[in-house]
A and B are shown apart, each in its own frame.
Chain A
Amino acid sequence: MNNWIPIAALHEIPQLGARVVKTDTQDIALFRTKNDQIFAVKDQCPHRQGPLSQGIVHENSVTCPLHNWKIDLTTGEAQGPDEGCVATYSTKVEEGMVYLALDAESGI
């Protein structure tokens, strides 16, 4: 029962990059991988709230710009020895348009 909201055309998000989606209450980071998968997580690193959208994207992960935590975008979990989790959101791409559903899937 997802409430899909159209966000942007796929090409408006850089490959291996991100855009910030601002809602009334928070910022969500929308990532595009090399093979055009889209992931959405809350734009707040579980470590010290670093803006994940500003990190470097590789495969299905992003490295936080502040202290290099690596977050798995599929689950929102921090990788390696670091422990923490960020809320993830469902996304889909249809006919070049990216949609986001705002009920958090996991995390807080």
Chain B
Amino acid sequence: MQEKLILIGNGMAGIRTLEELLKLEPERYQITVFGAEPHPNYNRIMLSPVLAGEKTLNDIILNDRDWYAENHIQLITGDPVVRIDRTRREVVTQSGASAHYDRLLLATGSNPFIIPIPGHDKQGVIGFRDIADVEAMLSAAQTHAKAVVIGGGLLGLEAANGLLKNGMDVTVVHLLDSLMERQLDKPASALLKTSLEERGLHFMMEAQTAEILGDERVTGVRFADGAELAADLVVMAVGIRPNIQLAQAAGIHCERGIVVNDTLQTFDPRVYAVGECVQHRQTCYGLVAPLFDQAKVAANHLANLGIARYEGSVTSTKLKVTGIDLFSVGDFNEAEGDETLVLQDPGAGVYKKLVLRDDKIKGAVLYGDTLDGAWYFQLMREGSSITDFRHTILFGQHDLGDAGHGDETRVAALGNEAEICGCNGVCKGEIVDAIVKKGLFTLEEVRAHTKASSSCGSCTGLVESILASTVGQGYTAAPSKKPLCGCTEYSHDEIIQAIKQHQLKDMDVVRQFCEWKTPDGCATCRPALNYYLLANWPGEYQDDAQSRFINERAHGNIQKDGTYSVVPRMFGGLCSPADLRAIADACEKYDVPEMKVTGGQRIDLFGVKKADLPAMWKDLSTAGLVSGHAYGKALRTVKTCAGKNWCRFGTQDSTGLGVQLEQMTWGSWMPHKFKMAVSGCPRNCAEATIKDFGVVCVDSGYELHVGGNGGIKVRVTDLLCKVETEQQVLEYSAAFIQKYREEARYLERTAPWVERVGLQYVKDALFDQTQREALHERFLYSQQFAQIDPWKERAEGAEKHEFEKIEIAA
């Protein structure tokens, strides 16, 4: 029989514990959750952005009601538990319902502290804790003008910022002489105050509130020195108190919070507690990171595994006011014997301070540039000595100035253990792992898989940088010496080698030879093998449509709604009125919702229904237009500039040369996309120096550049050589392409390929006349079989099944 588990408190810590528990022991308990609030579990942290109008309530729901249903959890909302009967093992709610438990989990959070001054119970005096408070503030903002926020800490400032954004005139009243004194030192606090003042907040420092004025509703605030301030809304944000009444009334030992041991057990062994209501080793926490640590441990014990211990947490702080970057951790007010490193750049609004003892970090305050917070935090937790890089530590982990990739390179340099998401305790290694193994491409996917950046969101930038640095390196599932995929132990290089050396010409044969563990391979290896065979045995190997990604199978880019985009080729970016007319006609005929000039100098027709593709292609092909392969690991575009024919600076016919290049190369399949450009002079209007193969015309000939790309990680080309004639340009480009086609790994673009094999290696091959000519020849040979317009073929009926649905009545 399943045991019964009851959770009191449908909040962040409690539900996280259940999530962890379900991962370990999904079947063990029959679970019931009681929540005082009428909502499913939401991200309380995000109340600040909701108040500021940057998010909606819907955005911040963490577990919707379906989640509870799917996990067979009974959820009772809007009905607080009012009594725990430990002898009968029963809880009783306000409405009189009761339920039995075998184990009980308390996660009742905390309550905002309301200073018990006269008038504190008037209408319009609230805390900042839940959705109801936010709703009250938002509605006050609609009908009233003046707000006073008591408390200049994290919560108070976020409330004040939100109310300000809602058009209220806001004054923050603070007892001490500097804001966020527990998280900031004085200089950082002063910077913060200045920038909040610039936004329009008012401050009254060193002011002690003595009374709330008004009849039924608040009209103002009086201070200890007699001064008064008018107010229609008073938000008290002076601290929180663990919510322990229920536990206390049930006789469970409490001090400031519900006292728990290292397994999150209270003095009653059947009762566990997690979250802000808890006091562990004399500490009560008010941030989610430690609560989530607790949740893991509590779940482990609820699952009867009994191996985890919670030993307390070190926390760091960030402020969620958009546009203000602030980070602090540890003990940042220096004591005797400490040393302080400070970097101050008032012009840029940057302030960084590290407090050191024995060359180890004790605390840090960062204002204006917080990227290295995670790194300092890690050095601090691990007690690392910073002696070796003490003189540069304030500049961050990595030198700046890396062509727009400051963040990314700095993140790339972080170790795998570096914590990225403080809320959920996710470190870099886990994120990278998830991206690589699960093929993640978007922030949302990373959030879904790792939970990084899914709580307060302040690490979003870091997560995006990791995504960029991980995905950007060639978009590949194939780092060196790693198996191609889970189906085999052979690496890309070993497979390429085997195909050449042993003349393997068929996918099944390759799989057999390279000891595949799966009969058909998978979505990663099949496209790779198909490419390798095609590139090595042109004319012999029969392309396998079912091993191609849908874009290459349907010869268009699949859109998020399942329609396709169509991009006809415009050689060298040139087009005629007739081309444009044909495109325009096709657009009208097939109801194309949007046309766009692409970044590749041609026209994209978006939103074409799959079934219309063949007919539309037929029309385009009749007008002489062929596929632009905008969807393929193939030759994409050859961009050109105006060149000698028109431009006053043009040195050669860049347009004509571009057209020739595209005519020679279109239709060829590549390990990855391949782009070219020809610029008529070093002004380089065609951006030839960030292309896979770029030509820059000069008076005396043509500079050839290789291995560049734009995209996620920009790489400027390397100069290959200079040649004198158009014929040489064609020969070198074909030879370069062929070398790349024969040797690079599938999904490795020229930039990472050139970096891996080295420019010299490429030069050695291309400068050797025999090799160059042979490569050139092999390329032209394979083009005989490649330059068949796939659109025309399909317009004439090939692969019909791909485009036609079978219709049935049902």
A-B contact pairs, 15 of them (CB 8 A): A7-B808, A15-B546, A16-B547, A20-B805, A21-B806, A21-B807, A23-B808, A23-B809, A25-B810, A27-B805, A56-B526, A58-B518, A67-B441, A67-B442, A68-B438
Query: In the complex, are the beta carbons of A34 and B520 less than 8 A apart?
Result: yes
Knowing A34-B519, A80-B438, say if A5 contacts B546 (CB, 8 Å). Answer: no
A63 at the interface (CB under 8 A from B): yes
B554 at the interface (CB under 8 A from A): yes
Determine the chain A residues whose CB is within 8 A of the CB of B439 once the complex forms.
Answer: 67-68
Determine the chain A residues whose CB is within 8 A of the CB of B547 once the complex forms.
Answer: 16, 56
- Would you give the 0/1 interface string for A30-46, flagging 1 where the beta carbon is closer than 8 Å to chain B? 10011000000000000
Residues of chain B from 508 to 563 with CB closer than 8 A to chain A in the complex: 518-523, 526-527, 545-547, 549-551, 553-554, 558, 560, 562
A55 at the interface (CB under 8 A from B): yes
Query: In the complex, are the beta carbons of A81 and B449 less than 8 A apart?
Result: yes
**Closest residue to B520 on the A side, CB-wise?**
A58
Inter-chain CA distance A62–B273, complex, in Å, is 44
Interface size class of A (residues with CB under 8 A): 35 or more
Inter-chain CA distance A48–B461, complex, in Å, is 24
Determine the chain A residues whose CB is within 8 A of the CB of B551 once the complex forms.
Answer: 65
- Whole-angstrom distance between the Cβ of A22 and the nearest chain B Cβ: 4
B801 at the interface (CB under 8 A from A): yes
Determine the chain B residues whose CB is within 8 A of the CB of A59 once the complex forms.
Answer: 518-520
Query: In the complex, are the beta carbons of B805 and A22 less than 8 A apart?
Result: yes
Determine the chain A residues whose CB is within 8 A of the CB of B526 once the complex forms.
Answer: 56, 58
A94 at the interface (CB under 8 A from B): no
Inter-chain CA distance A65–B553, complex, in Å, is 11
- Would you give the 0/1 interface string for A56-100, flagging 1 where the beta carbon is closer than 8 Å to chain B? 111100010111101000000000110000000000000000001
Not counting A67-B439, A67-B441, a sample of 15 additional A-B residue pairs whose C-beta atoms are within 8 angstroms of each other reads A7-B806, A7-B808, A12-B801, A14-B545, A20-B806, A21-B807, A22-B805, A24-B809, A24-B810, A56-B527, A56-B546, A58-B526, A59-B518, A63-B523, A81-B449
Query: In the complex, are the beta carbons of A102 and B810 less than 8 A apart?
Result: yes
Residues of chain B from 439 to 458 with CB closer than 8 A to chain A in the complex: 439, 441-442, 445, 449
- Whole-angstrom distance between the Cβ of A84 and the nearest chain B Cβ: 10
Residues of A within 8 A of B (CB): 5, 7-8, 12-17, 19-25, 27, 30, 33-34, 48-51, 54-59, 63, 65-68, 70, 80-81, 100, 102
- Residue in B550, B806, B809 whose Cβ sees the most chain A Cβ within 10 Å: B806
**Residue from the list A8, A25, A50 in contact with B806, Cβ < 8 A:** A8
Residues of B within 8 A of A (CB): 438-439, 441-442, 445, 449, 518-523, 526-527, 545-547, 549-551, 553-554, 558, 560, 562, 801, 805-810
Determine the chain B residues whose CB is within 8 A of the CB of A20 once the complex forms.
Answer: 805-806
**Residue from the list A12, A15, A21, A100 in contact with B805, Cβ < 8 A:** A21
Knowing A20-B806, A55-B550, A102-B810, say if A14 contacts B520 (CB, 8 Å). Answer: no
- Whole-angstrom distance between the Cβ of B700 and the nearest chain A Cβ: 49
Determine the chain B residues whose CB is within 8 A of the CB of A70 once the complex forms.
Answer: 523
Determine the chain B residues whose CB is within 8 A of the CB of A23 once the complex forms.
Answer: 807-810
Determine the chain B residues whose CB is within 8 A of the CB of A16 once the complex forms.
Answer: 520, 546-547
Determine the chain B residues whose CB is within 8 A of the CB of A102 once the complex forms.
Answer: 810
Inter-chain CA distance A23–B546, complex, in Å, is 25
Knowing A17-B546, A59-B519, A63-B523, say if A22 contacts B808 (CB, 8 Å). Answer: yes
- Whole-angstrom distance between the Cβ of B797 and the nearest chain A Cβ: 14
- Residue in B441, B549, B808 whose Cβ sees the most chain A Cβ within 10 Å: B808
Query: In the complex, are the beta carbons of B807 and A22 less than 8 A apart?
Result: yes
Query: In the complex, are the beta carbons of B560 and A56 less than 8 A apart?
Result: no
**Closest residue to A100 on the B side, CB-wise?**
B808
- Whole-angstrom distance between the Cβ of A55 and the nearest chain B Cβ: 7
**Closest residue to B527 on the A side, CB-wise?**
A56
Query: In the complex, are the beta carbons of B806 and A58 less than 8 A apart?
Result: no
**Closest residue to A59 on the B side, CB-wise?**
B520
- Whole-angstrom distance between the Cβ of B489 and the nearest chain A Cβ: 18
**Closest residue to B562 on the A side, CB-wise?**
A51
**Closest residue to A44 on the B side, CB-wise?**
B562
Query: In the complex, are the beta carbons of A5 and B523 less than 8 A apart?
Result: no
Query: In the complex, are the beta carbons of A65 and B801 less than 8 A apart?
Result: no
- Whole-angstrom distance between the Cβ of B295 and the nearest chain A Cβ: 19
Knowing A14-B801, A22-B808, A66-B558, say if A55 contacts B441 (CB, 8 Å). Answer: no
**Closest residue to B551 on the A side, CB-wise?**
A65
- Whole-angstrom distance between the Cβ of B403 and the nearest chain A Cβ: 30
**Closest residue to A58 on the B side, CB-wise?**
B520
Which 9 pairs from chain A and chain B are nearest by CB? A63-B523, A54-B550, A56-B523, A16-B546, A58-B520, A23-B810, A22-B805, A65-B550, A20-B805
Determine the chain A residues whose CB is within 8 A of the CB of B523 once the complex forms.
Answer: 55-56, 58, 63, 68, 70
**Closest residue to A12 on the B side, CB-wise?**
B801
Query: In the complex, are the beta carbons of B522 and A58 less than 8 A apart?
Result: yes
Determine the chain B residues whose CB is within 8 A of the CB of A5 once the complex forms.
Answer: 808, 810
Inter-chain CA distance A68–B437, complex, in Å, is 11
Determine the chain B residues whose CB is within 8 A of the CB of A67 once the complex forms.
Answer: 439, 441-442, 445
**Residue from the list B441, B801, B810 in contact with A19, Cβ < 8 A:** B801
Query: In the complex, are the beta carbons of A54 and B808 less than 8 A apart?
Result: no
Query: In the complex, are the beta carbons of B554 and A54 less than 8 A apart?
Result: yes
**Closest residue to A20 on the B side, CB-wise?**
B805
Determine the chain A residues whose CB is within 8 A of the CB of B438 once the complex forms.
Answer: 68, 80-81
Determine the chain A residues whose CB is within 8 A of the CB of B805 once the complex forms.
Answer: 19-22, 27
Determine the chain A residues whose CB is within 8 A of the CB of B522 once the complex forms.
Answer: 56, 58, 63
**Closest residue to B526 on the A side, CB-wise?**
A56
Determine the chain B residues whose CB is within 8 A of the CB of A56 once the complex forms.
Answer: 522-523, 526-527, 546-547, 549
**Closest residue to B560 on the A side, CB-wise?**
A66
Query: In the complex, are the beta carbons of A14 and B546 less than 8 A apart?
Result: yes
- Residue in A5, A22, A50, A102 whose Cβ sees the most chain B Cβ within 10 Å: A22
- Whole-angstrom distance between the Cβ of A96 and the nearest chain B Cβ: 16
Inter-chain CA distance A81–B439, complex, in Å, is 12
Inter-chain CA distance A65–B523, complex, in Å, is 9
- Whole-angstrom distance between the Cβ of A83 and the nearest chain B Cβ: 9
Knowing A34-B519, A54-B554, A56-B523, say if A17 contacts B545 (CB, 8 Å). Answer: yes
Inter-chain CA distance A23–B808, complex, in Å, is 5
Inter-chain CA distance A51–B551, complex, in Å, is 12
Determine the chain B residues whose CB is within 8 A of the CB of A80 once the complex forms.
Answer: 438
Inter-chain CA distance A83–B13, complex, in Å, is 23
Inter-chain CA distance A58–B160, complex, in Å, is 56
- Whole-angstrom distance between the Cβ of A54 and the nearest chain B Cβ: 4
- Whole-angstrom distance between the Cβ of A79 and the nearest chain B Cβ: 11
Query: In the complex, are the beta carbons of B808 and A21 less than 8 A apart?
Result: yes
Query: In the complex, are the beta carbons of B558 and A54 less than 8 A apart?
Result: yes
Determine the chain B residues whose CB is within 8 A of the CB of A27 once the complex forms.
Answer: 805
Determine the chain A residues whose CB is within 8 A of the CB of B445 once the complex forms.
Answer: 67
**Closest residue to A102 on the B side, CB-wise?**
B810
Query: In the complex, are the beta carbons of A13 and B801 less than 8 A apart?
Result: yes
Determine the chain B residues whose CB is within 8 A of the CB of A12 once the complex forms.
Answer: 801
Determine the chain B residues whose CB is within 8 A of the CB of A17 once the complex forms.
Answer: 545-546, 801
Determine the chain B residues whose CB is within 8 A of the CB of A54 once the complex forms.
Answer: 550, 553-554, 558, 562
Inter-chain CA distance A102–B521, complex, in Å, is 30
**Closest residue to A56 on the B side, CB-wise?**
B523
Inter-chain CA distance A59–B550, complex, in Å, is 18
**Closest residue to B559 on the A side, CB-wise?**
A66
- Whole-angstrom distance between the Cβ of B471 and the nearest chain A Cβ: 13
Inter-chain CA distance A27–B439, complex, in Å, is 27
**Closest residue to B547 on the A side, CB-wise?**
A56
Inter-chain CA distance A49–B562, complex, in Å, is 9
Inter-chain CA distance A49–B810, complex, in Å, is 21
Determine the chain B residues whose CB is within 8 A of the CB of A34 once the complex forms.
Answer: 519-520
- Whole-angstrom distance between the Cβ of A18 and the nearest chain B Cβ: 9
Knowing A21-B806, A27-B805, A80-B438, say if A58 contacts B521 (CB, 8 Å). Answer: yes
- Whole-angstrom distance between the Cβ of B497 and the nearest chain A Cβ: 24
Inter-chain CA distance A24–B527, complex, in Å, is 34
Query: In the complex, are the beta carbons of B560 and A22 less than 8 A apart?
Result: no
Determine the chain A residues whose CB is within 8 A of the CB of B441 once the complex forms.
Answer: 67
Determine the chain B residues whose CB is within 8 A of the CB of A55 once the complex forms.
Answer: 523, 550
